[in-house]
Amino acid sequence: MRKKFGIRQILLLVLILICLIVPTFVKTPYMLGIFVTTFYIGCGTLAWSVLGSLTGEISLGHAGFMGLGAYIGALLMNNKHITPWVGMLVAFVVVGLLAACLLAPCFVLSGPYFTLVTIAFAEAFRNLFTNWDYAGKGQGILVPLKEQGMYSMRWISKVPYYYIALIMLIVFYVILRKIDRSKLGYALKTIREDEETANAVGINPFKYKFIATFISAGLIAVVGVFYANYIGYINPDIMKQSQALNYVMPAIIGGIGSITGPLLGAIILTPLSEFLSATLSHIAGGLNLVVYAVIVIAVILFRPTGIMGWFDHSKFKKKMNDRFDAIDAKLFGKRG
């Protein structure tokens, strides 16, 4: 096991440092916005991955859970003056529990049937909020900018959002890595591979799917609270199933089956789709989406296991590991 400090850790630190100083170089709100979007989509993808990658249950209802979180955060702030930071906590617990309880009867459904149920729930929430006076009906609600600062999580500048999103992404990633290597992670992965085997080694699939749903929906609800404050305006459209694809696509392209894959997918896809819409959409409306779709289809056709799925089994990875080990040996002397 490689636990010691080495070149990999150094590279990671450098990467984080670069991320930390990006706002001092990138000044335009547009560019900074792309970073923020990438980070929070990355968070959403990681949250989705707890169910999608680790447990193998494909949800297309996560936009609904994110929307619920967004509404909880915004309504608490607007109507009760409760800070979004507490809102994040409330959203995590409430949405996590709600999703787990609603989906629990559907855990016996496999594959596409489970997916259909998640779509149905998200759609139900969207309709509920479209008709709910307290939540501003179809017009949605504004999160006003009357007070700036940490308490309200509202700023005119995008820089604070940049750092919050970055930290959130790092925290989410660390949480997922921890889960991946824990007892919970082994339970989820075993269930994903074969539920009968899971039972046979002593895993209660129901219990662990409940926990996974709780964490997955709860985490994306936290992203929702961030989103509401960052954008400053939410309406029921954010619960649309098409919005859920923002979190599913990166996971599939990056590689379901690992934690790094979905993160990598988000880091590649989000800027790519921004770039395409900036460069192509004025040539012909929707052209950017066509190109995006073609790229996604190409990856799925040629690398069905995603980028990381390919990488994990490639010679390239082995070469890179050998190179890193060699550098480690040179820098720190021979160890273990």
Which residue ranges make up the site for another protein (CB under 8 A)?
181-183, 185-187, 189-190, 192-194, 196-205, 257
Least gap, CB of 333 to another protein (angstroms)? 25
Torsion of CA 291, 297, 300, 301, to 10 degrees: -120
**Cβ at position 188, least distance to another protein in Å:** 11
* 280, 274 Cβ separation under 8 angstroms: no
In whole angstroms, the minimum distance from the beta carbon of 259 to another protein comes to 13
Which tokens hold the place of 265? 């997918």
Where b means 16+ CB within 10 Å and e means fewer, 155-172 reads beebbbbbbbbbebbeeb
Strand, helix or coil for residue 260: helix
Between residues 147 and 194, which has the closer beta carbon with respect to another protein? Answer: 194
Q: Which is nearer to another protein, 56 or 160 (CB)?
A: 56
The span from the CA of 101 to the CA of 157, in Å, is: 39
**Residue number with CB closer to another protein (148 or 197):** 197
Q: Minimum distance between the CB of residue 181 and another protein, rounded to whole angstroms?
A: 6
H or E stretch at 66: helix 62-80
Nearer to another protein, 104 or 272 (CB): 104
CB of 174 to another protein, least distance (A): 16
Q: By C-beta, is 2 or 183 nearer to another protein? A: 183
267 C-beta neighbours (distance < 10 Å), count: 18
Nearer to another protein, 207 or 330 (CB): 207
* Cα–Cα distance for residue pair 50/11, rounded to 1 Å: 26
Q: Is residue 202 left, alpha or beta, with left meaning phi > 0 and alpha meaning psi from -120 to 50? A: left
Q: What's the min distance (Å) between Cβ of 53 and another protein? A: 10
